Amino acid sequence: MSTMSTAPVPAVADGTSGSPTAAARSAARRRVAQVWAGRIGLAVFVIGGWQAFTAWGLVDPFFFGQPSGIAKRLVELFQDGTGFGSFYSNIWTTIQEALLGFVVGSLTGVVFGVALGQSRYLADVLGPYIKMVNAIPRIVLGSIFIVAFGIGVTPKILLAAVLVFFIVFFNAFQGVREVDRNILANARVLGASQLQIIRHVVVPSALTWIIASLHSAFGFAIVGALVGEVLGAQSGLGLVIKTAQNNFDPNGVFATMLVISVIVLGAEWLIGKLERRLLSWRPPSPSEAAGL
């Protein structure tokens, strides 16, 4: 972290090149190799087992798909596209819906979370209603949105936004509530206005909570977009899945699933980068090194 402490280290290591460091390094390298061997082994075991069981006829590939079939289907999808536009344009539709829903949902979540966290009165008035709405299975709202807004992208964005909103809202609210009383008192005595307190103290403090919620929130944005598409759409990965289901094509469903998980992993990676950037002030926690 600190430049002062890391700078002299290589010089010392070069000078002595002692066996303890070399031994520690090779032990670390061996551990990494073992972990990767385990990971690859597990993948070969699961996918190979699936392929073998379907090939031997123990499991019917007609219902449960087959890894080689999934790979073939994936290539077909990318090369030949679908009955409703190229596969790329379908992917783009879903990404667009999820992304817009994610942005709208998290922004409103943060705004409401901060507002209610700041104002006791607002929290007391709106609190029970928010809990009630949160108790509704919100996926069902998708049907209403489709009836109201047709089968374009709008209802999917709305559904994704609603799912994202509640996750981000509860975290932002909690984050605002956890702001250190001393820091708050200090800022007030130094002459900060209410707006300055929100900008310099409340939001940065709640950011730890908000960012943590964004990780799971993007997954929900994708779920919202997909469910919306399954309920009724002209394009999108949800429609690809629904079509594959209607054609008794499990390989098509699995192939699309694979693409979706790549999208979510990519988004996760971007959010991780954002997190490291925005929260660079945090001391490195011991759990981070061993974390997933």
Of the candidate spans 39-47, 149-157, 164-172, 202-210, the one that interacts with other proteins by CB under 8 A turns out to be 202-210
Question: Least distance to other proteins from the beta carbon of 42, Å?
Answer: 38
The separation between CA 106 and the C-alpha centre of its own chain, rounded to angstroms, equals: 12
Query: Six-digit token pair at 84?
Result: 């409703």
For residue 226, CA distances in Å to 29, 108, 235 come to 42, 21, 11
Residues 21, 34, 186, 261: which binds other proteins (CB under 8 A)? 186
Query: Six-digit token pair at 207?
Result: 């950011």
The separation between CA 153 and the C-alpha centre of its own chain, rounded to angstroms, equals: 21
Residues 78, 123, 151, 188: which binds other proteins (CB under 8 A)? 188
Residues whose CB falls within 8 Å of the CB of residue 65, separated by 6 or more in sequence, listed in order: 54, 250, 251, 253, 254
Residues 57, 283, 286, 291: which binds other proteins (CB under 8 A)? 283
Asked if 169 and 206 touch (Cβ cutoff 8 Å), the reply is no
The answer to the question of residue 212 lying near other proteins (CB under 8 A) is no
The answer to the question of residue 194 lying near other proteins (CB under 8 A) is no
Of the candidate spans 147-155, 194-202, 212-220, 246-254, the one that interacts with other proteins by CB under 8 A turns out to be 194-202
Of the candidates 172, 70, 164, the residue with the CA atom closest to the CA atom of residue 116: 172
Question: Least distance to other proteins from the beta carbon of 179, Å?
Answer: 11
**87-118 and 237-246 helices cross at what angle (nearest 10)?**
120
Question: Least distance to other proteins from the beta carbon of 276, Å?
Answer: 14
First to last CA, the chain: 20
Residue with smaller CB distance to other proteins, 193 or 261? 193
Count of residues that interact with other proteins, criterion CB under 8 A: 24
Residue with smaller CB distance to other proteins, 3 or 79? 3
* Beta partners for residue 84, in sequence order: none
The answer to the question of residue 205 lying near other proteins (CB under 8 A) is yes
Residues 123, 133, 207, 212: which binds other proteins (CB under 8 A)? 207
Question: Least distance to other proteins from the beta carbon of 173, Å?
Answer: 19
Asked if 159 and 142 touch (Cβ cutoff 8 Å), the reply is yes
- Footprint of other proteins on this chain (CB under 8 A)? 1-2, 180, 182-183, 185-193, 196, 200-201, 204-205, 207, 279, 281-283
